[in-house]
Amino acid sequence: MRRKIVPVGQAGAIELTPNELKALGLTVGDQVDVSSAGGIVEITPVDEYEDLSLDELFSIVTARA
């Protein structure tokens, strides 16, 4: 699907539809990694827990139990 790059401050943005966000497992406000090579842009969801220590993860799990 073709999209137009829209201005956002000094940068540009491409809007993703709700269905596209859902397919990626994303919601507005989530963090993603963006990389590009050979004219292709890749968007990868960031695991919100990947940089947490085991103690921090344990705290989250026990708080939700």
Parse the chain into domains and list their residue ranges.
6-64
Is residue 11's pLDDT more than 90? yes
Tell me the β-bridge partners of 13. Answer: 6
Cβ neighbors of 24 (< 8 A, separation 6 or more) are: 16, 43, 45
The predicted structure's pLDDT at residue 1: 82
Whole-angstrom Cα distance, residue 47 to residue 27? 13
Q: Rounded to two decimals, what is the model's pTM?
A: 0.60
Name residue, tokens 């859902």: 22
When pLDDT is averaged across residues 37-56 and rounded to a whole number, the result is 90
Is residue 47's pLDDT more than 90? no
Residue 51: pLDDT band by 50, 70, 90 thresholds?
Answer: confident
Q: Show the DSSP H helices in the chain as ranges.
A: 18-24, 54-64
Domain 6-64 annotated CATH 2.10.260.10: yes
